[in-house]
Amino acid sequence: MEFDTIAAISTPSGEGAIAIVRLSGPEAIPIADKLFQAPSGKKLAEQVSHTIHYGHLVDPWTEETVEEVMLSFMKAPKTFTREDVIEINCHGGIVSVNRVLALVLRAGARLAEPGEFTKRAFLNGRIDLSQAEAVMDLIRAKTDRAMDVALNQMEGRLSKLIGTLRQALLESIAQMEVNIDYPEYDDVEEMTRPIMLEKSMWVRSEIDKLLQTSSQGKILREGLSTVIVGRPNVGKSSLLNSLVQENKAIVTEIAGTTRDIIEEYVNVRGVPLRLVDTAGIRETEDIVERIGVERSRKVLKEADLILYVLNYSEPLTAEDERLFEAVKDMNYIVVINKTDLPQKIDLEKVQALAGSRLLVTTSLIEEEGIDQLEEAIADLFFEGEIEAGDMTYVSNARHISLLHQAHQTISDAIEAAEMEVPVDMIQIDVTRTWEILGEIIGDTADDGLLNQLFSQFCLGK
């Protein structure tokens, strides 16, 4: 816990033009050297302390250039924490700074706890007693909020998936433990290397999938995929434009082969969204039929969030109802636009169709209701517990970093199994994987294994 190398984003989220990722600890310089390439090709370790260097961060695993950065290099003890410190100045904006953070975590840093830099500064004698009191308050306050986030995420899809993986691992571990502690107990199959290998391979492939597709990870790299749907002329394009105008667009790009689908990247209250507007698609008479077009259906299927726009000044149509049917299993917010015109829509019926989904009324022309919509999006994402993007993306980076660690340990297990190492030693890495996955969902209760053991097996001798 102490004395390892920690990292965190040390600038306020999302807003500034420049963001800083700070590293502190004995491995700070080697980690930075793994990732940083200066035009001169010189390693940081060879540089003079307290200097700033221009260069690129390169992902050592893919050799892909991640960011153009300025890097401050400060050797202990004349630093804030009295440890070796590296500060990476990168482009502001949630996507790029998170990418940098994720990279340093992968390269061996641990995500700092709230207030940890200050704590180290104190423990290393850098700050005084009165400041220390403040640190303690900070640690408590921030952690409570972080725990809220963790609790919220407990409900989520990620934790369910992780739970499944952990349970699968736990059953193998328990079986193995029974083999070890009750070697004469004949009612449990002997855990063998091939079984262990197969299970480990499966878990690794699931972790791979999670790393690639978990919505959390996706947000870091490309934002929450958000699709705006609705009948023609309900105000879809206006909604897109309003969201983009209100929020500084991070990237704008037009997909090369599908020029008719427009994507905009925006940061809505700390939630990065990749807005996909289907408005560009040539409109047919029947919107549901249009949804049926292969490409649009794909876009819809992959969406993390749907903004379903209805017209306040027209009665609900059969088409509207069919569209409700089409999105019924998805995350969506109903946006009832054009409140500047007289009401024709039956709001009670809309509410009945939408069930527990959020309804927001807007007049995009009058610029009304956008705030409420943004709040609804943030609420949906943060489940109403947290203000603009503070901790959540950090804990996401934490998840990703833990998933990478779990990937490493399960790969060690696989390698060991292939090397014909005894099963109980392979299990050391399997157990470690199980523990790391537990950290993701905050389940570190250590009696889990024993409970599993005694509920799964009838043990005697």
Partner 1 sequence: MPQYEAGTFDVIVVGAGHAGAEAALASARMGAKTLVLTMNLDMIAFMPCNPSIGGPAKGIVVREIDALGGAMGRVIDKTHIQMRMLNTAKGPAVRALRAQADKVLYQQEMKRLMEEEKNLTLHQGIAEKLLVEDGKVQGLITQVGGIYRANSVVITTGTFLRGEIIIGDLRYSSGPNNQQPSIKLAENLEELGFETVRFKTGTPPRINSNSIDYSQTEIQPGDDVPRAFSYETTEFIMDQLPCWLTYTNEKTHQIIDANLHLSPMYSGMIKGTGPRYCPSIEDKVVRFNDKPRHQIFLEPEGRNTREVYVQGLSTSLPEHVQRQLLESIPGLEKAEMMRAGYAIEYDAIVPTQLWPTLESKQIENLYTAGQINGTSGYEEAAGQGLMAGINAAAKVLGKEEVILSRSDAYIGVLIDDLVTKGTNEPYRLLTSRAEYRLLLRHDNADMRLTELGHRIGMVSDDRYEKFLAKKERIGEEIKRLRNVMIKPNEATQQMIRDAGGSELKDGIRGADLLKRPEMDYDMIQRLTASETELEDEVKEQVEIQVKYEGYIEKSLQQVAKLKKMEDKKIPENIDYHSISGIATEARMKLSEVRPLSIAQASRISGVNPADISILLVYIEQGRIAKVSV
Query: Which value, to the nearest 10 degrees, does the dihedral of the CA atoms of residues 155, 156, 158, 163 take?
Result: 30
Distance of closest approach, residue 385 Cβ to partner 1, in angstroms: 18
Does 256 show up as a binding residue in the annotation?
yes
Closer CB to partner 1, 208 or 424, in the complex: 424
Nearer to partner 1, 189 or 424 (CB): 424
Measured from the CB of residue 117, what is the shortest distance to partner 1 in angstroms? 12
Nearer Cβ to partner 1, position 139 or 316? 139
Smallest separation, CB 393 to partner 1 (Å): 20
Q: Tell whether 344 is in a known binding site.
A: no
Is residue 365 a known part of a binding site?
Answer: no
Q: Scanning the structure block, which residue is given the tokens 């009665």?
A: 315
255 is in an annotated binding site: yes
Residue whose CB is less far from partner 1, 143 or 241: 143
- Residue corresponding to tokens 């958000």: 226
Token duo for residue 399: 């998840």
Give the number of residues written for the chain: 461
Closest approach of Cβ 184 to partner 1, in Å? 7
Contacts with 170 (C-beta within 8 Å, 6 or more apart), sequence order? 434, 448, 449, 452
Q: Are strands 51-59 and 110-111 parallel, antiparallel or unpaired?
A: unpaired
The answer to whether the annotation marks 152 as part of a ligand binding site is no
Decide whether 371 or 415 has the Cβ nearer to partner 1: 415
What token pair was written down for 11? 């600038």
Residue 83 is assigned to a ligand binding site: no
Which residues of this chain interact with partner 1, rule CB under 8 A? Answer: 1-3, 113, 115-116, 119, 122-123, 125, 129, 132-133, 135-137, 139-140, 143, 173, 177, 179-187, 419-425, 428, 445-446, 449-450, 453-454, 458-461
State yes or no: 233 annotated in a binding site. Answer: yes
Does 361 carry a binding-site annotation? Answer: no
Nearest distance, CB of residue 257 and partner 1, angstroms: 49
Smallest gap from Cβ 218 to partner 1, in A, equals 28
Q: Least distance to partner 1 from the beta carbon of 140, Å?
A: 4
Report how far residue 25's alpha carbon sits from residue 8's, in angstroms, rounded to the nearest whole number.
12
Three-state helix/strand/coil letters over 48-114: CCCEEEEEEEEECCCCEEEEEEEEEEECCCCCCCCCCEEEEEEECCHHHHHHHHHHHHHCCCEECCC
Q: Are 17 and 70 in contact (CB under 8 A)?
A: no
Q: Among 165, 168, 171, which Cα is nearest to 457's?
A: 171
Contacts 24+ apart (CB under 8 A), 44-48: 44/71, 44/73, 44/86, 47/73
Q: Which is nearer to partner 1, 113 or 198 (CB)?
A: 113
- SS3 category, 306: strand
Determine whether the annotation assigns residue 254 to a binding site. Answer: yes
- The answer to whether the annotation marks 277 as part of a ligand binding site is yes
To partner 1, the closest distance from the beta carbon of 447 in angstroms equals 8
- The single-letter DSSP state of residue 37 is E
Residue 200 neighbours by CB distance under 10 Å: 25
Output the CA–CA distances (angstroms, integers) from residue 367 to 294, 297, 342, in the order listed.
Answer: 34, 30, 17
- Pick between residue 139 and residue 293 the one whose CB is nearest to partner 1: 139
Residue number with CB closer to partner 1 (18 or 141) = 141
In terms of CB distance, is 54 or 454 closer to partner 1? Answer: 454
237 in a labelled binding site: yes
* Nearest one of 73, 156, 151, 81 to 119, comparing CA atoms: 81
Please state the closest distance from residue 247 (CB atom) to partner 1, in A: 33
> According to the annotation, is 157 in a ligand binding site?
no
DSSP element (H, E) containing 319? helix 318-326
The arrangement of strands across the sheet holding 36-37 comes to: 36-37, 51-59, 64-74, 85-91, 18-24, 6-9, 110-111
- Cis peptide upstream of residue 114 (ω within 30 degrees of 0): no
Nearer to partner 1 by C-beta: 380 or 437? 437
CB of 131 to partner 1, least distance (A): 10
Q: Is 204 annotated as a binding residue?
A: no
| Angle ∠(380,383,387) on CA atoms, nearest 5 | 95
Bind-site residues for Mg(2+): 237, 258
Bind-site residues for (6S)-5-formyl-5,6,7,8-tetrahydrofolate: 22, 87, 126, 461
